[in-house]
Structure 1
Amino acid sequence: MNRGYFADLSELKQHGGKIAMANKIVIPAIAAMKFPDREVTYSNGITLKLPITSNGDMVAADKAAIPKVTLLCLSFRANSQAMIDSWSGHFLDAYSNSKDVQLYQVSFIDSWFLSWSPIKQLLLRIMKKPNHGGKGALQKQMVYSFGDHYYFRKELKILNLLTGYTFLLDKFGRIRWQGFGLATQDELSSLRSCTSLLLEEK
């Protein structure tokens, strides 16, 4: 888990960030692991905890706001931005009019200096965007996660920080599909078919 930048770079040169092919089929609910909770921050300073999931204590009005499907795209270094864009852009186009899905791009910032409160506030102001992207019901939500992510990555078995990671979650926050690196057309097809299956789940 603590390997260096050059080990990641060497691996990236071998496979271009494609550390594995995406799932072809949806992971059965009984075998799916829960995505670990992570606090994230919008550029306006508002924080929330991902994933947003359903639980038994919610009233009906709250349940209506719970997405049936969430696509979480994780970027640990700037060079992986194009990789996660290859997934999120397609997902945004495919489900632009759906109110049952959510899309988050999470950028991880682990530098202690950039996580220091005054610098963090300045950084968020610089990153502030006029809108989230997307013209329909689905909006691309850009959020940032500050601080150490060792144990978070350990749970998800994330080793290489130079590639992009994409997770498709159901309404209970379980990982039902995942992709890595740049998306291929076949993988985007499997993403769509798995999303459709999850949207139909009761």
Structure 2
Amino acid sequence: MNRGYFADISELKQHGGKIAAANKILIPAMAAVKFPEFEVSYSDGKTLKLPIKIDTDVVEDNSSASALPMATLLCLSFRANSQAMIDSWSAPFLNAFSSSKNVQLYEVSFIDSWFLCRNPIKKLLLRLMRKPSGNAQNDSLQRQIVYSFGDHYYFRKELKILNLLTGYIFLLDKYGRIRWQGFGLATQEEVSSLLSCASLLLEEK
């Protein structure tokens, strides 16, 4: 988990960030593991706990449960160079589900530098961060660009994330379980698999 930058770059040269092929089918609900909770910040400083999900320990009324997403795409980036990889998944996902009210898309940038995580620097950095763009205002699905500050060692350990130079894509169901996963730059076949699996999640009861 504590390996260095040169190990990551060497691995990236071998496979271009494609650590493994994406899932071809949905991971069955019974076999799916929950995505670990973590806090993110918007560029305006507002914070949010992800993933947004139905809490099985709390009795939800129908109105609040129906407002929660049926499918959430989380695109994780630990270094700026992986943004093109993230875009290769998020752009087609955004196009396919632009009118859906039951889907959410988050692009998460992780910032672990102790200096950048200090409060005055963090506030300044958030102010300078990019805002979502390219979405029609009347689209139901919006690209949510958020940032997570701090030491992410245990978070990465839980998700078995080793190489920080590639992009990690997770499709979650309404209970916050990982039902599909992709890595690196998307192929056309993998995008088709992602869109198909997301559609299936929207049909789950």
Task: Sort the TM-score into its range (normalised by shorter chain).
Answer: over 0.9
Q: Which residue of 1 aligns with 2:50?
A: 50
TM-score (norm 2): 0.95
CA contact (8 A) 1:132 1:139 kept: no
Q: Give the Cα separation in 2 of the matches to 1:164 and 1:117.
A: 27
Matched, 1:147 2:141: no
CA contact (8 A) 1:133 1:139 kept: no
Q: Which residue of 2 aligns with 1:180?
A: 183
CA contact (8 A) 1:132 1:141 kept: no
- Post-superposition CA distance 1:66-90 (Å, at most 9, x none): 1000000000000001001100001
1:72 to 47, 71, 74: 74
Higher helix share: 1
Matched, 1:168 2:174: no
Q: Which residue of 1 aligns with 2:105?
A: 103
Q: Give the Cα separation in 2 of the matches to 1:145 and 1:49.
A: 10
- The CA deviation at 1:134 is 2.3
State the SS of the aligned residue for 1:29: coil
Q: Give the Cα separation in 2 of the matches to 1:34 and 1:65.
A: 20
Q: Which residue of 1 aligns with 2:38?
A: 38
Please report the RMSD computed on the Cα atoms of aligned residues, expressed in angstroms. Answer: 1.0
- The CA deviation at 1:171 is 0.1
Amino acid at match of 1:191: L
Amino acid at match of 1:25: I
Q: Give the Cα separation in 1 of the matches to 2:135 and 2:66.
A: 21
- The CA deviation at 1:196 is 1.0
Q: Give the Cα separation in 1 of the matches to 2:134 and 2:40.
A: 18
Q: Give the Cα separation in 1 of the matches to 2:43 and 2:64.
A: 24
Question: Structure 1: which 5+ runs fail to align?
Answer: none
Q: Are residues 42 and 132 of structure 1, via their aligned partners in 2, closer, same or farther at CA, if it must alter by over 3 Å? A: farther
Q: Which residue of 2 aligns with 1:157?
A: 160
- The CA deviation at 1:63 is 1.7
Question: Structure 2: which 5+ runs fail to align?
Answer: none
Q: How does 1:6-21 map to 2 (within 5 A)?
A: 6-21=6-21
Amino acid at match of 2:6: F
CA contact (8 A) 1:17 1:162 kept: yes
Q: Which residue of 1 aligns with 2:141?
A: 138
Q: Which residue of 2 aligns with 1:3?
A: 3
CA contact (8 A) 1:103 1:140 kept: yes
Report how many aligned residue pairs link the two structures: 201
- The CA deviation at 1:133 is 4.4
- The CA deviation at 1:132 is 5.3
Q: Give the Cα separation in 2 of the matches to 1:14 and 1:148.
A: 28
2:115 to 113, 116, 122: 113
Q: Give the Cα separation in 2 of the matches to 1:128 and 1:84.
A: 15
Q: Are residues 18 and 40 of structure 1, via their aligned partners in 2, closer, same or farther at CA, if it must alter by over 3 Å? A: same
